[in-house]
Structure 1
Amino acid sequence: EPERARLLITIAMERRADAGRRGDQAAREAEAIARRMGDPALLAYALNGRYMQTFHRAGLAAERAGIGEELLDLAARHEGLVTFEVLGHLILIQAGAALADLATADRHAAAADRLAERYGLPLVGVFTTWYAALRLAVTGRRDEARTAYRTAAARLTGIGMPGLEEGILPLALLSVGIASPDADWGPYERWSRPLLADPGPFGGETPPGSSRLPFTDQVLAVCDSSRLTHAGEVPLEPGSSPLPLAGEAHAIPESPGDLLLEVRTCLHAMVAIRAGDLTAMERLYARLLPAADELAGAGSGLLTFGPTAQHLGDLSAALGRYDQAAGHYRHARAIAERAGAPHWAATAGAALHRLGKRS
């Protein structure tokens, strides 16, 4: 059975971004075998496999937190599991950030750094450096965050993680208000490029998570347009102009299931709103809804586009569901306050005010 469990864990690791459920099934079967055998090292390995299978949809930060806590418990009760102890702390950094619980994330970042120093694990510092930049962004210290992100990105060079390094710096800078049209966006190109071509909420120095009232105005203008069809097409009258990005919205694929699923989905939502693509808005709303109580993308431990509830509010408003939008904006304000992010709280409050002026 141990050999079968290890094979199943390998399958779970290799299929972590697959759309199907085979990887998750393999991880859970391996976990069941390890529990039945009472083998702590095998169980820790299996939990790592299950963790890799918790990015197939939005809103799974609490499940990942449970995995991280169990890894720490195993490491505390059994010797020789330092690597998994570090992993547990790193998972809990991500989960704490996603759940807007920076105090918890801070505690685990400090613990991970202590273990890294004690056991000579330099790679750990790469991840805690990224978290430190994310934390600055969450608390609204965007100038410091920009500098910190550039420093964190430099630490990725030569560590053998090209899949993480490619395109991550321009994406992180976009989250704090810096658009880089000439950068190599790597795997994020298709979700980011339409917004760079027509900046909308990213215009000027305004970050997408701060003072987005102009974008809220655009959202409400979109839903007021009588020219929209449910397919997101815009039948034009003579002399009229299409809504921005109308052609781009249809070309954007669904995000793969990885650490930045919510980030790509939020970017896709912004494009869909500006394009007036109601079908896409409905679909993206459903994809983001399970993460309504989280910071979008913060579960990566790398970057965030603010409270997911803010994006849900924008989608709801663009769909003409104003009461629903108001509920999401109130939720976004509460999450922002929990995270110590007054700039996001102000954004949510401004959106509520703008909605109130309609009545």
Structure 2
Amino acid sequence: MDVRIGLLGPVVAWRDGVEVDLRGPRHRAVLARLAVAAGRTVPVDVLVEDLWTAPPAGALAAVRTFVAALRRSLEPDRAPRTPARVLVTSGTGYALRATTDAQEFSAAADEVPDLERALRLWRGRALDGLGDEPWLTAERTRLDDGRLRAVERLAAARLRAGEPDRAVTDLLAHTARNPWREEGWRVLGLAQAAAGRRAEALQTLRHARRLLGAELGLDPGPGLRAAEQRVLAGHPDPVRWPATVDGLRHLAVTGPDGLRAAVAGRATTLDAAETLEPRLAARVLGGFDVPALWSRADDPAQAARIVTAAGRLLARDPSATHRARLLATTAIERRGLGGARGPAAAAVRAARELGDPAVLVHALNASFLASFEVPGARAERAAIGAELVEVAARHEFWPHEVLGHLVLVQTHCATGDVDAAGRHVDRARELADLEGAPLVAVFEGWFEALRGALAGDPHARVLANYRRQVGLTEGMPGVRDGLREVAVAAAHVQHGRPVPAECAAGPWRAWIEPLALLESDPDAARRAVRAAGEPPPGHLHDLLLCFLARAAADLGERPLARGLLRRLEPVEDEVAGAGSGLVTAGPVAGFTAALRRLG
């Protein structure tokens, strides 16, 4: 017996393809509430709270009555006193063992070729005929948002396939019904331009910007502006986009202003890649191989778009070269989020098989960033840095040769070997001076500040050096955001001083806050250290763990201390934070020793 539940319209159920009688609206509400739980148990008291704003005295009994009736409808042939197989009792509640059309839609909508089939599953407004209780409103909004995104993705796919008129037809009605959907307006404008209706496209995009900004109070994003610029530029010949990407690569290494401009320009090329045929789109998307040294993206939203677009192109089985570049690009854009190690390793393997040094240095860059997902991978990063230097120098890829030297600066700093690190700083600076890469000076300045901290500079001087360097990281938001707070906290911890409350801010707040609360509110510090969780993989992972270790040791948090000790042991011979090439809180061994003293 096959039971399916329909949520993408009025709530229905089918048994072996035949619709069953679900009786009244309360029965449908119970079934829907269990269905949206996707197989998880829903306690009876939760069902009561969700079904009634003010539950009546007999609410529990009523729920059991509804469940019994639903069981008779869904399994009419079940023998008396035998366990239900579809709507089952589980603990103090119930769970539904049946698939839903919403689940089928989500799976199909992940793949562009299945989008039309996915949209055909919709029979009307999601969960139609039920009320407006908070759980219903939230689920209805989630499902409807998925449908709207699928309509927009299908239109974009038709545009890429050379069917702009079909895309226009789809989106005219879509934007009229959903005027707040910026992506719908963006693709509609591009489709109109591709169909030869340039004036109409400009009118659409300008109308959308006015509508979103003035009438709906929304802030139009860069996508609409980029689309308008493309249409004004005459929708350039697609074969020019790889050359545009090449220009952006060179612009990105010219300094902070150039990097900002390159990131903005990349958004435009990403828009273009979504309209190109797959081979050309892969060239555009995988061609931006600007060296990336830091384990946090400058623009997380753009990075997510790139990962999604690369995934679609990889699913279309591109050429070996494009596949290797797309895998490397995916890993680089996933840095700091997890899930980068597999694509990076596959990219390196593919690049070695190709024997293409340009692809190999891009893949090695990805492998370097992905290595932060594994604790204690300093030796792996050192080997990557050495290979980057060797391959890039041999083939005169100077940006990646600089990257290799900076990687080796970080790996030597991780063990406190500032002399070896200094030699790589000198070589990176020589290349930067020769080729014109001023961003290297920013990392050189940080190295000098770190060298002073490792050499025992007084607390005030370390703080002054760190603060000066923070001001020079403009144009690199992935590095800059939260760096002032973490640098000040590290300087205070290294010198045994209380961490100022001002440091408990920014993206690293969860791991700094326990230290900032230690003296003023120990109970709050205890709650904070227990809630902090695992830091994201990246350059600051060991430093943030050491912050937690110091707080746990001072608070006597033995169970937490044991877990922190296990996570810090792989880097016990390193200097906390120094592998970033930026800051330090002192030897990791000092923190692990404090944890061991707790017993």
The TM-score by the shorter chain falls in which range? 0.7 to 0.9
Secondary structure of the structure 2 residue equivalent to 1:293: coil
Deviation per CA, 1:120-164, whole angstroms, max 9, x where unpaired? Answer: 11111111111111111011113332222122111112x1x2232
Matched, 1:174 2:454: no
Match of 1:155 among 472, 478, 488: 472
Match of 1:97 among 400, 404, 413: 413
How far does residue 16 in structure 1 lie from its aligned partner after superposition? 1.7
Question: Which residue matches 2:324?
Answer: 5
How far does residue 69 in structure 1 lie from its aligned partner after superposition? 0.5
Larger relative CO (CA 8 A, sep 6+): 1 or 2? Answer: 1
Matched, 1:164 2:483: no
Question: Which residue matches 2:595?
Answer: 315
Q: In structure 1, what residue type is equivalent to 2:453?
A: A
Whole-Å separation in 2 of the counterparts to 1:166 and 1:185:
10
Question: Which residue matches 1:231?
Answer: none
Does structure 1 conserve the Cα–Cα contact (< 8 Å) formed by 2:331 and 2:370? yes
Equivalences for residues 288-303 of structure 1 within 5 A: 288-303=568-583
Matched, 1:129 2:409: no
RMSD of Structure 2 on Structure 1 (CA): 1.9
Q: In structure 1, what residue type is equivalent to 2:325?
A: R
Question: Which residue matches 2:372?
Answer: 55
Secondary structure of the structure 2 residue equivalent to 1:104: helix
Whole-Å separation in 1 of the counterparts to 2:356 and 2:519:
53
Equivalences for residues 195-206 of structure 1 within 5 A: 195-199=515-519
Q: In structure 2, what residue type is equivalent to 1:197?
A: L
Whole-Å separation in 1 of the counterparts to 2:392 and 2:478:
29
Question: Which residue matches 1:87?
Answer: 403
Whole-Å separation in 1 of the counterparts to 2:450 and 2:422:
11
TM-score by length of 2: 0.44
Secondary structure of the structure 2 residue equivalent to 1:245: helix
Does structure 2 conserve the Cα–Cα contact (< 8 Å) formed by 1:59 and 1:291? yes
Closer, same or farther: CA 251–267 of 1 in aligned 2, 3 Å: same
How far does residue 175 in structure 1 lie from its aligned partner after superposition? 2.0
After superposing on structure 2, the runs of 4+ consecutive aligned residues of structure 1 that deviate more than 4 Å are 241-244
Does structure 1 conserve the Cα–Cα contact (< 8 Å) formed by 2:341 and 2:373? no
Deviates more, 1:171-180 or 1:308-317: 171-180
Question: Which residue matches 2:156?
Answer: none
Question: Which residue matches 2:198?
Answer: none
Q: In structure 2, what residue type is equivalent to 1:170?
A: E
Does structure 1 conserve the Cα–Cα contact (< 8 Å) formed by 2:513 and 2:525? no
Whole-Å separation in 1 of the counterparts to 2:416 and 2:522:
38
Greater fraction strand: 2
Deviation per CA, 1:234-255, whole angstroms, max 9, x where unpaired? Answer: xxxxxxx987833222211211
How far does residue 184 in structure 1 lie from its aligned partner after superposition? 6.7
Closer, same or farther: CA 104–242 of 1 in aligned 2, 3 Å: closer
Secondary structure of the structure 2 residue equivalent to 1:273: helix
Question: Which residue matches 1:280?
Answer: 560
Deviates more, 1:144-153 or 1:130-139: 144-153
Whole-Å separation in 2 of the counterparts to 1:284 and 1:183:
22
Question: Which residue matches 1:110?
Answer: 426
Does structure 1 conserve the Cα–Cα contact (< 8 Å) formed by 2:512 and 2:547? yes
Q: Which blocks of at least 5 consecutive residues in structure 2 are unaligned?
A: 1-319
Q: Which blocks of at least 5 consecutive residues in structure 1 are unaligned?
A: 201-240, 321-359
**Bigger-Rg structure (1/2):** 2
Deviates more, 1:56-65 or 1:117-126: 56-65
Question: Which residue matches 2:9?
Answer: none
Does structure 2 conserve the Cα–Cα contact (< 8 Å) formed by 1:34 and 1:40? yes
Does structure 1 conserve the Cα–Cα contact (< 8 Å) formed by 2:482 and 2:508? yes
Deviation per CA, 1:199-233, whole angstroms, max 9, x where unpaired? Answer: 49xxxxxxxxxxxxxxxxxxxxxxxxxxxxxxxxx
Question: Which residue matches 1:349?
Answer: none
Closer, same or farther: CA 169–242 of 1 in aligned 2, 3 Å: closer
Match of 2:525 among 229, 232, 245: 245
Give the number of aligned pairs. Answer: 274
Whole-Å separation in 2 of the counterparts to 1:264 and 1:65:
22
Secondary structure of the structure 2 residue equivalent to 1:176: helix
Q: In structure 1, what residue type is equivalent to 2:593?
A: G
How far does residue 112 in structure 1 lie from its aligned partner after superposition? 1.1
How far does residue 99 in structure 1 lie from its aligned partner after superposition? 1.7
Whole-Å separation in 1 of the counterparts to 2:416 and 2:448:
14
Does structure 1 conserve the Cα–Cα contact (< 8 Å) formed by 2:504 and 2:512? no
Whole-Å separation in 2 of the counterparts to 1:35 and 1:286:
36
Secondary structure of the structure 2 residue equivalent to 1:259: coil
TM-score by length of 1: 0.72
Whole-Å separation in 2 of the counterparts to 1:245 and 1:166:
24
How far does residue 189 in structure 1 lie from its aligned partner after superposition? 1.0
Q: In structure 1, what residue type is equivalent to 2:377?
A: L
Q: In structure 2, what residue type is equivalent to 1:194?
A: P
How far does residue 8 in structure 1 lie from its aligned partner after superposition? 0.6
Deviates more, 1:4-13 or 1:271-280: 271-280
Deviation per CA, 1:19-72, whole angstroms, max 9, x where unpaired? Answer: 4xx421111111011111111111111000000111123322111111110011
Whole-Å separation in 1 of the counterparts to 2:503 and 2:559:
31
Closer, same or farther: CA 175–137 of 1 in aligned 2, 3 Å: same
How far does residue 174 in structure 1 lie from its aligned partner after superposition? 2.3
Whole-Å separation in 2 of the counterparts to 1:107 and 1:33:
32
Does structure 2 conserve the Cα–Cα contact (< 8 Å) formed by 1:5 and 1:33? yes
Equivalences for residues 19-34 of structure 1 within 5 A: 19=338, 22-34=339-351
Q: In structure 1, what residue type is equivalent to 2:335?
A: R
Does structure 2 conserve the Cα–Cα contact (< 8 Å) formed by 1:16 and 1:53? yes
Secondary structure of the structure 1 residue equivalent to 2:562: helix
How far does residue 305 in structure 1 lie from its aligned partner after superposition? 1.3
